[in-house]
Amino acid sequence: MNQFQYSNSNKRYHTLDYYYKNRFGEKIFKVSLNAGFSCPNIDGTVGSGGCIYCSKSGSGEFGGNKKDSLEKQFQIIKNKMHKKWKEAKYIAYFQARTNTYAPVEKLKEIYERVLKIKNVVGINIATRPDAITEECLDYLEELNKKTYLTIELGLQTTNEKTSILINRCHTLNCFETMVKKLREKKIDVVVHIINGLPYETKEDMINTIKYLNKLDIQGIKIHMLSILKNTTIEELFKKEKFKILSKEEYIDIVIEQLENLRPEIVIHRITGDPDPNELIEPFWLIKKFCVLNDIDKEMVKRDTYQGAKL
């Protein structure tokens, strides 16, 4: 019998569903929105071309159409999600590109609009640590008092050589400083990492987790690198044929990463979810639920759980 303390299922890690149900007392799902933001790593402010794995949608494949109003996007995505869950409340998720990269007055107008939508209980904002001004931080502090706010920061790796290769265009110090600033204002932080980045070793990927485990973060998203069509990384892959993790290698790495994470850190995502029409490699990612189930089975087989190695 699973005795993991943050689970109401067969999971041996702290799932987002468990967290939301304990916090809100009911089913919550995210509604992904595209507010039409740009990115300082695209427009030349800190870099150009974006991160090499970034798709043309800026990681917003499953969000709304930016040509539609936020209200219309919300309604369309919400209705799709309700086919799976009849009763639920919502987190508005600003997903595509860098969602604090605008003047604060514009951010206020955008965020406040979605808060007026019925049964929205919180906002998740995906952004970069170098795209949150002091004025923005003060506003986010205000927003956090009105609703359940989470800021999602893309770190991807602690390996600085990899950071340069993927054109991340912000330093580890910049990231850590912003985490501290957000936590000083009692704002929850979720961090994105990517396993399988070009030339990274298993040790590199475990080191990224060990680093994050020492920080005051509340959640993490673990992705597998997707090679998507019409991206810079597709060109690099075709040229250099760097190694792509097998499903078995990925599962092994993820389990060890979970073993090195504090149990209270919420696992918001544990695998990638690419658009199959855009995917070049790895094809095993298409069967998302097979990956999830295989992680569960292997954790049972190893009799391990999140935090087991701490």
Domain extents in the chain: 16-302
- Helix 70-82 crosses helix 104-115 at what angle (to 10 degrees)? 40
Residue 61 is predicted with a pLDDT of: 54
pTM above 0.85, yes or no: yes
- pLDDT at position 62, please? 60
pLDDT digits (tens, 9 = 90+) for 181-227: 999 999 999 999 999 999 999 999 999 999 999 999 999 999 999 99
pLDDT recorded at residue 288: 93
Report the pLDDT value the prediction gives residue 58, as an integer from 0 to 100: 47
Structure-model confidence comparison of residues 104 and 66, the more confident one: 104
Q: Which residue has the higher pLDDT, 169 or 141?
A: 141
Residue 119 CA to residue 160 CA, distance in Å, equals 42
- Taking alpha carbons only, the member of 16, 22, 60, 33 closest to residue 117 is 33
Please give the average per-residue pLDDT across 99-103, as a whole number: 94
Q: What is the mean pLDDT of the chain?
A: 92
Confidence grade of residue 81 (pLDDT, cut at 50, 70, 90): confident
Share of residues in the chain with pLDDT > 70 (%)? 96
**Which residues are registered as beta bridge partners of 154?**
192
* Cβ-based neighbour number of residue 181 at 10 Å: 17
Q: Would you say residue 256 has pLDDT above 80?
A: yes
Tell me the fold of 16-302: TIM Barrel (3.20.20)
Contact 7, 51 (CB under 8 A): no
pLDDT at 213: 98
C-alpha–C-alpha distance, residues 132 and 140, integer Å:
10
**Do residues 92 and 148 lie in contact, with contact meaning Cβ atoms separated by under 8 Å?**
no
pLDDT of the residue at 3: 64
DSSP state at residue 21:
H
pLDDT score at 59? 52
